[in-house]
Structure 1
Amino acid sequence: MRFKLVHAADLHLDSPLRGLERYAGAPAERIRNATRRAFDALIELCLEEEARVLLLAGDLFDGDWKDYSSGLYLVQKLTRLREAGVAVVWLRGNHDAESRIRKSLTLPAHVRELGVRKPESIVFEELGLVVHGQGYATADLREDLAARYPRAVDSAVNVGLLHTALSGRAGHEPYAPCRLETLVDRGYDYWALGHVHQREIVSIDPWVVFPGNLQGRHARETGPKGATVVTVDANRIADVEARALDVVRWEVLEVDATFARTLEDVLDGLRARLEAAVRAADGRLLAARLRVTGATDAHAALERKRDHFTAEARALALDVGGDDLWLEKIQVLTVPALDLAALRRRDDPVGQVAAALAALRTDREALEALAAELAELRAKLPSELLEGPDAIRLDAAAMPELLDDVERLLLSRLSLPSEEETE
């Protein structure tokens, strides 16, 4: 028998997306509505593909509902699937754990929730399909749920639904930790995972898939977002295909100004970069963070005329993309066009600091010690500085980027050449 499943996760419907008002010209309403519009696209995908089951691997919501409109919206959309004969199986993740959601509505009968007390299995006899899974009773779930999932049912296609970071993924709390070997040992054909917002195919035998979140919400959730269409044929997984469903595409666009000599040169490079990004967004609203980088002769002009360059860049974005292109932030990260090797040989304080930074990059023990010291500082910072797309990162993984920032700030403030160089 041949049929299709659609696997999605991390919808975060009605995610609050605070702070958009701070950005001049931000398309706030389009961005706030993006999670719902992406879910609309998910429903359309199920109908177009004539899917038999929609699998939702946690975090349908971002937290408790502000009011009942979120639940009513969900019921309305899921009812369309009932009319087309599409069943829905879902479970709770850390954001919509049982302990976090106080408001609720009765969902249509074709929507089945996997429980939070123990693993459950839902059998679709007409499809020869069994879906196994367990949701979150509380948000901070640190036990290995997968270890308690039942073994595969013989002569059926077995799917495991699980909200997890596996053995750990950067930027994600290690909820419901488990090893890949544990998943393989269950004997399932397909693991429909959630929690990690980047799409990832962890394994193909068996299939272990993170579809990524349905809609990017800020500049740390870049690139195409959407769901996965799974084709089952003759009791095996015949095809697994990613489908982009996002309506707002977030990107970080880097413009290398290394060979630019003037502001006009930088803007020419920016135009080409924006035009390519708009084409790639394929009609979506493109929300882009712009990073101008490189050791360049244009650095002094960029620093001196930063406000002018920022305004020119925004005007250029309007010219290229109109209402479908918004520059969320413009970061000028250039440095003067200098010989770094010569700079590090200079016998003055600037040269000594530059040499020390170069040495630090390759000193693993020193980097780990620095990260440990910064961890103490991080613990003292208010929580609002540690959350969101611009969160302060002081962990070991952030050290290379922090060193880049330090070196950039140093080079951009270099004093006159040393006395030996001026003789």
Structure 2
Amino acid sequence: MKFIHTADLHLDREFEGLVQETPFQPYHILEKIIDLAISEAVEVVLFAGDNFHQSQPSIKIQNYFVEQLMRLQAYDIQAVIIFGNHDYYRESVYWIDFPDNVTVFKSESVSTQKLTLKTGETLAVSGFSYQHPHLSVNKIVDYPERDDACDYHIGLFHGEFSSESFAPANLTDMLAKDYNYWALGHIHLANQVADNVIYPGTPQGRNKKETTNLVVLGEMAPTGNLIYFRDLAEVHFETLTIDLSACQTLVQALTFIKSNLIDTATFYSLNLENYEAISDNLQEAVDNDELLEELRHGHVIVKLKLMPLSSENGEISKIVVPDLALPTIDLEQVYSLLPHKQEIRSVFEDADFQQEVQDNLTLFASQHFEFGGTLDEN
């Protein structure tokens, strides 16, 4: 049995930290996953939660999701879907019907669905979907033992090990079920916890922290599994540290920096170091964003930063401003200014949402605010 395992698509989430337009759309990753399923003639595609970034996705993105799933029908490929903490399931917000080739787990209680594949083999899939943004109970204990009446048994699970808020689990409980495979979601970096227990990570990174963009292409047999990881992402985030010690002029520096920007499908964060010979003029070009704008012709530059210069005589050659520490946002006060709806309240109480707001504001501040002589020079 051949399968694809993906998770954390977050289809309605944009790239983060960008201030320039790009021709890339992150949701296109789903089309690439469906293309792979068709080209590899798999029997089933497993979606391990957080298909959407929002608990109430737009009609447009809902329809896009279904349109892509329907492409599998002509090839007799099935799909199995659970919902995670971001897109926790509420039937009232959906404008779509899922196609007949799609099995959807809608309940927060663990259940098992049995599928007959195009090969004639039978597959049992056990799983559950979030109906709330948080789950503090161990759901693995509710998964049944392996169904020996089926050729294969897979566990679909969205959550964390040793977590308190996202279906806390442990590996021992999972392995005790004796499943052929555990398809995990929630962690955005790929992690093969055990031979048959895998987080593929998000297939398309949205920021510079999400660097492993993979899906699992697997082949299951009674004797064991063959597991392959495929990188289908259209773009990747990369942080480069560029040593300018060999550059004695600005011309040399610009030429050398550009020579390191080799891929138009990479979103770069650049750290420049050892630029003593051109420090004054380089500092000015960075401060007024001239260098940044020049490098953005033909490339996506998320951030440009000068690293501190070393000094042989012990004197400080430049003042290094530490990362800006922002105060915690009072989301209760923000909520008081909005319509008092339960949906809005649940979003504002979501720990992931609160952390994301704080992280994004910190990222914005680090990219857009500089210290220098202004009206307030204290």
TM-score of the superposed pair, with normalisation by structure 1? 0.70
Other structure's SS at 2:31 match: helix
Structure scoring higher RCO (CA < 8 A, sep ≥ 6) equals 2
Other structure's SS at 2:45 match: strand
| Cα-to-partner distance string for 1:230-280 (whole Å, 9 max, x where unaligned) | 1113x24431111122122222222233554544443343223212xx1xx
- Structure 2: runs of 5 or more not aligned: 332-353, 372-378
Aligned-partner Cα distance in 1 for 2:191–2:110? 24
Which range moves more in the overlay, 116-125 or 130-139? 116-125
After TM superposition, give the deviation of residue 381 of structure 1 in Å.
Answer: 6.2
After TM superposition, give the deviation of residue 195 of structure 1 in Å.
Answer: 0.8
Corresponding residue for 1:15? 13
After TM superposition, give the deviation of residue 385 of structure 1 in Å.
Answer: 5.4
1:73 paired to 2:64: yes
Other structure's SS at 1:305 match: helix
After TM superposition, give the deviation of residue 316 of structure 1 in Å.
Answer: 4.5
Alpha carbons 1:26, 1:328 under 8 Å: kept: no
Match of 1:38 among 21, 26, 29: 29
Corresponding residue for 1:419? none
1:136 paired to 2:130: yes
Other structure's SS at 1:241 match: strand
After TM superposition, give the deviation of residue 221 of structure 1 in Å.
Answer: 2.2
Aligned-partner Cα distance in 2 for 1:54–1:91? 12
1:218 paired to 2:207: yes
Alpha carbons 2:286, 2:292 under 8 Å: kept: no
Aligned-partner Cα distance in 2 for 1:131–1:66? 26
Corresponding residue for 1:272? 259
Corresponding residue for 1:406? none
After TM superposition, give the deviation of residue 13 of structure 1 in Å.
Answer: 1.3
Match of 1:229 among 217, 221, 237: 217
RMSD: 3.3
Aligned-partner Cα distance in 2 for 1:124–1:18? 39
1:257 paired to 2:244: yes
Other structure's SS at 2:166 match: coil
Shift in CA distance, 315/65, structure 1 to aligned 2, threshold 3 Å: same
1:306 paired to 2:286: yes
Identical pairs, percent: 25
- Structure 1: runs of 5 or more not aligned: 279-283, 358-373, 394-401, 403-408, 410-423
After TM superposition, give the deviation of residue 70 of structure 1 in Å.
Answer: 1.8
Kindly report which structure 2 residues correspond to 1:20-419, keeping only aligned pairs within 5 A, or say none: 23=19, 25-27=20-22, 30-31=23-24, 33-35=25-27, 37-65=28-56, 67-99=58-90, 102-125=93-116, 126-154=120-148, 156-167=151-162, 174-204=165-195, 207-222=196-211, 225-233=213-221, 235-258=222-245, 260-275=247-262, 278=263, 285-294=265-274, 296-307=276-287, 310-312=289-291, 314-316=293-295, 318=297, 322=298, 325-332=299-306, 334-339=307-312, 343=314, 378-379=327-328, 386-388=358-360, 390-391=362-363
2:260 is matched by which residue type in structure 1? R
TM-score of the superposed pair, with normalisation by structure 2? 0.77
Aligned-partner Cα distance in 2 for 1:202–1:296? 46
Shift in CA distance, 93/389, structure 1 to aligned 2, threshold 3 Å: farther
Corresponding residue for 2:336? none
Other structure's SS at 1:209 match: strand
